[in-house]
Amino acid sequence: EPEVTQTPSHQVTQMGQEVILRCVPISNHLYFYWYRQILGQKVEFLVSFYNNEISEKSEIFDDQFSVERPDGSNFTLKIRSTKLEDSAMYFCASRKDRGTDTQYFGPGTRLTVL
Amino acid sequence: AQRVTQPEKLLSVFKGAPVELKCNYSYSGSPELFWYVQYSRQRLQLLLRHISRESIKGFTADLNKGETSFHLKKPFAQEEDSAMYYCALSGEFNDYKLSFGAGTTVTVRA
């Protein structure tokens, strides 16, 4: 059964550095999402992406964040200048098409900002 | 605004006992409600959706619009049900972005 994959599984970075988190959604899916979960807190929506553009973003998703689908398979989340409070688990999810509501999640990338 | 509340952070039951995880929501419109489960060291996976009205792994959940609730129930808990359970809500008109509750950690003891 196809799955969403994410790399790396754990990323450690210094404050102020740029990081790129990578996701490979399920191949015939059209809608893509990023969520994050700070340790001990709830999973929070960051951004949704469809047809090569952001369709919705949360207040968390400020100018430090960007998403891209550089080719037909990858979906990336970039944090330009990481802060300590960006430390969290980042989940990618994908959904097939307009008529379906089920999102499939990747295993997550644990980002640690020192 | 859409909001999901799971009042219980931890729930511990004995094997064979009934388990109920509470979920209340607020949403102006017709929401879609889901339960996601995360077993130890595994990804979030969909357990069930209110729209399909099905039972998965013995779990059921009924959407009660009057009480704005979507409680998850299982009559006889098994040890393999130990996991983190998240109630989530989405709406058709916001690209189905999910709003999650805080989650309930269920421990089923032998």
CB spacing of A56 vs B44 below 8 angstroms: no
Ranges A23-27, A79-83, B89-93, B104-108: which has the least confidence: B89-93
Of A91, A101, A107, the CB nearest to B96: A101
| Burial of B101: CB neighbours in 10 Å, binned 0-12, 13-18, 19+ | buried
pLDDT value of residue B12: 97
Tokens of A70: 């550089």
Q: Is B17 on the interface with A (CB under 8 A)?
A: no
Other beta carbons within 10 angstroms of residue A39's beta carbon come to 8
**Segment B6-63, tens digit of pLDDT:** 999 999 999 999 999 999 999 888 888 999 999 988 889 999 988 777 778 999 998 9
Of A43, A55, A102, the CB nearest to B49: A102
Q: Which mean pLDDT values do the consecutive 10-residue runs of chain A (114 residues) have?
A: 94 97 94 94 94 92 94 92 96 85 92 97
Of A31, A42, A104, the CB nearest to B102: A42
Q: Is B29 on the interface with A (CB under 8 A)?
A: no
Closest CA to B95 of A94, A6, A3, A90: A94
What is the C-alpha to C-alpha distance for residues B102 and B9, in angstroms, rounded to an integer? 7
Cα dihedral sign, A55-B70-A40-B29: positive
pLDDT at B94 over 80: no
Token pair 């059964």 in the structure block, residue: A1
Tokens of B34: 């889901």
Q: Is B32 on the interface with A (CB under 8 A)?
A: yes
Token pair 């109630």 in the structure block, residue: B87
Instruction: Indicate the residue type of A68.
Output: E
B7 neighbors B101 (Cβ within 8 angstroms): no
